A and B are shown apart, each in its own frame.
Chain A
Amino acid sequence: MMPIATPETLAEDEAPVAATGAESLVEVRDLKVHFRTPGRQVQAVNGVDLSLARGEVLTILGESGSGKSVTLRSLMRLLPEQRTLLSGRVRVAGEDILAMSRGELSRYRGSIASMIFQEPMLAFDPVFRIGDQIAETVRRHEGVSHAEGLARALELFELVRIPSAKRRLSNYPHELSGGMSQRAMIALALSCRPRLLLADEPTTALDATVQIQILLLLRDLQRELGMSVIFVTHDMGVANEISDRIAVMYAGRVVETGTVDAVIGRPRHPYTLGLMQSRASGELRGRRLSAIPGSPPDMASPPPGCAFAARCPRAVEACREAVPELRSPGEQHLAACFRLDNAEDR
């Protein structure tokens, strides 16, 4: 239906976002997510390929409407069943997520993959103590007693470095500050020792001084526990702090991907370049920002060619006709643009 990166177009060592088959924990191939709404169908994700090695941190970077959160949620099958059309292949730890039954899903969620969100307050039930909520999760998944669950909750609180952990276990969610409740949610997510942690903008609502604490904590935990992490954010700085590799999404597709060094240090796709150049900073005082003109396309009727063509300074006729495949402009680096070779002629 649409050209996407096929194995033939990619040399062996540059398979989409690296990761070789044997070691990869997550394999996403040609994922499409369409939402049915009365009268129209929104094509939120349009053929995304991702793979993630064990112990690796991948960031999906994108603006609102790029499909980054939808991609993440499909890894947990958290999208409304009735209105969502999912296709493609999603495998986590060798299991086919899209084929799972309800029972299989509730076993999978929490113990293999678990998720943290932007709003920790919404992840907890406001009328139960936090310690009890974590203990219940542990009991439900691992069949231990409530007391053992509580002991585990205490361990977890210490792991996420909550001061006076014991006292905090008997707090209600509203009694914790923003940073503290984010730590508590991370504890809840880690309670059943998941191998994959999915993080959906967990630091966006936090103040800068707290955000950096949480990013450093996640980095430490990932290393200590050897977890794989997929982190979703719109902030390039955050992506730079947390990730091993970055996948930049635009209008439901991955447009550029590679190591942090490659994507942040030597971006090649015009969209990524545009994002970098539109960042306000002190050095640019008194000058005009080179903003990306226009706005993203309506995903109910995406354009036939490259979705970025309408806003792209380098677009030519070919860009409006076909969707470019991911090509490699350098080691550990892929970008979906017809004009990569002309990158320097700006």
Chain B
Amino acid sequence: MKTAISNALSTSDHASRDRGGKAQPLLSVRGLRKHFLIKGGGPGKPACKVHAVDGVDLEVRKGETLGIVGESGCGKSTTARLLMRLLTPDAGEMIFDGDPVDVMGGLSLRDMRRQMQMVFQNSYASLNPRMSVEDSIAFGPQVHGLGKRESRQRARKLLDQVGLLPDQFASRYPHELSGGQRQRINIARALALEPRLLILDEAVSALDKSVEAQVLNLLEDLKREYGLTYLFISHDLNVVRFISDRVMVMYLGRVAELGDSEALYRAPAHPYTRALMSAMPSMDPLRRTQVAPLDGDPPNPIDLPPGCRFCPRCPMAVAACHDQEPELEALPGGGHSSACLRATEVQAQGRQQEALDQEVST
């Protein structure tokens, strides 16, 4: 263990850590599930179940950025926490580069976390206020057996790489930094163990737009330099489209749609994805939004409707949608799948709408 991390100082070692070759997914998850139990609200009120993540399959390919979008309560953050095992899943198996995780003979959680790290939304809460940033970054490597001096050296190198001068910032404390700077520290800390997969859970959402752009650029640079793979979670469709190779849309604990970023944005095949996209505020003063695409709030994942969970809000629901829960199925053309019985119709309607818009604008 100790030698492994000492050796892993240089980036070239990343290639040698690749085990199954390019074609083998870096992370593969089947049937991930987490239900939270809520105690009854008093005598006579029964306990209920929050279906936070309700059967999610996902695959993260080596070197890609997989984006996850969805509204609050869709289970995107719970998914991230389950992958990191900050929460224990109720069901589901997880395979990291060919090794099953947390089973006999497989990868231990400790080893998995060396290869997989996470950056959170709240940059302040995720740093220890009593540790200087240098100590925070050096902490992980030390726990994993790297010497004190080497850890500090690595911390300073990382500070430099995330764009903060080590001499100026190493001894500062989190409260002395701006939000953007703190998020850079969190990224540096996540990279200190030289992980292969970085989970970014709304990592840029709390930043101002001008700073967000800086951090997005930084993420792209680091990805190239370290050969990283990202799981990028956000509610901001524009940012996800910008950074992701593939995008997964979640609704109430299930995957609604999954596909190559451009294919999915150009021709969404789930009514929910389409609604999400048209709910983005317009940037054209002449084309303001006239009608809200969906009514009401996202329902809570406690009392799920029978059949498709989106059908109470769905403008295209038919009788069959109320009876059967659609599975995620591949669409013709490949690289794109949708959990909607009327997926092809949704796409056709979208194309019609687009043609209509084009006509209006010309």
Contacts and interface: CB of A to CB of B under 8 A. Distances in A.
B306 to A, nearest CB: 22
A290 B213 contact: yes
| Closest 7 pairs (CB-CB, A-B) | A237-B281, A291-B213, A278-B213, A280-B242, A63-B208, A207-B71, A292-B210
Nearest to A284: B242
A167 interface: no
Given A234-B209, A241-B288, A285-B262, 6 more contacts: A208-B235, A209-B294, A210-B297, A241-B289, A280-B216, A282-B261
A240 B178 CA distance: 28
A209 B216 CA distance: 25
30 contacts: A178-B72, A207-B297, A208-B235, A208-B237, A208-B279, A209-B276, A209-B279, A209-B298, A210-B297, A212-B289, A216-B291, A234-B208, A236-B283, A240-B284, A240-B285, A240-B288, A241-B288, A261-B286, A264-B284, A278-B213, A279-B213, A281-B238, A282-B242, A282-B261, A285-B241, A289-B242, A291-B213, A292-B210, A292-B213, A295-B181
B173 interface: no
A220 B261 CA distance: 35
A188 interface: no
Given A179-B296, A209-B294, A240 B242 contact: no
Contacts of A264: 283-285
A215 interface: yes
Contacts of A284: 242
Contacts of A111: none
A284 B238 CA distance: 10
A240 B280 CA distance: 11
A238 B281 contact: yes
Contacts of B262: 282, 285
A281 B276 CA distance: 15
B318 interface: no
B183 to A, nearest CB: 12
Interface in B232-260: 235-239, 241-243
Contacts, number: 132
A212 B284 contact: no
Contacts of A279: 209, 213, 238, 283
Nearest to B290: A216
Contacts of B294: 209, 213
Contact of A213 (B178, B214, B292): B292
Contacts of A215: 281, 289
Q: Pick the most buried of B243, B262, B292, B294: most chain A CB atoms within 10 A of its CB.
A: B292
A38 interface: no
Nearest to B237: A208
Interface string A233-272: 0111110110000000000000000001100110000000
A102 interface: no
A275 interface: yes
A20 interface: no
A6 interface: no
Contacts of A274: 210
Nearest to B71: A207
A261 B213 contact: no
Specify which of B237, B294, B297 lies most central, judged by the most chain A CB atoms within 10 Å of its CB: B297
Nearest to B280: A208
Interface residues of A, number: 43
A278 B243 CA distance: 14
Q: Most chain-B Cβ atoms within 10 A of its Cβ — which of A64, A280, A293?
A: A280
A284 B236 CA distance: 15
Contacts of A63: 208-210
Nearest to B287: A240
Contacts of A265: 285
A285 B67 CA distance: 13
Contacts of B297: 177-180, 207, 210
B181 to A, nearest CB: 8
B72 A216 contact: no
B304 interface: no
Contacts of B280: 208, 237
A331 B239 CA distance: 34
Interface string B80-103: 000000000000000000000000
Given A280-B242, A295-B178, A209 B213 contact: no
Interface string A283-308: 01100111111010000000000000
A180 B297 CA distance: 8
The listed residue with most B CB atoms (<10 A of its CB), out of A236, A241, A265, is: A241
A237 B241 contact: no
Contacts of B124: none
Contacts of A208: 71, 235, 237, 276, 279-280
Nearest to A282: B241
B212 interface: yes
A178 B72 CA distance: 10
A289 B210 CA distance: 10
A295 B180 contact: yes
A215 B281 CA distance: 9
A239 to B, nearest CB: 8
B314 to A, nearest CB: 12
B89 to A, nearest CB: 25
Nearest to B278: A212
Nearest to A274: B210
Contacts of B295: 213
Nearest to A292: B210
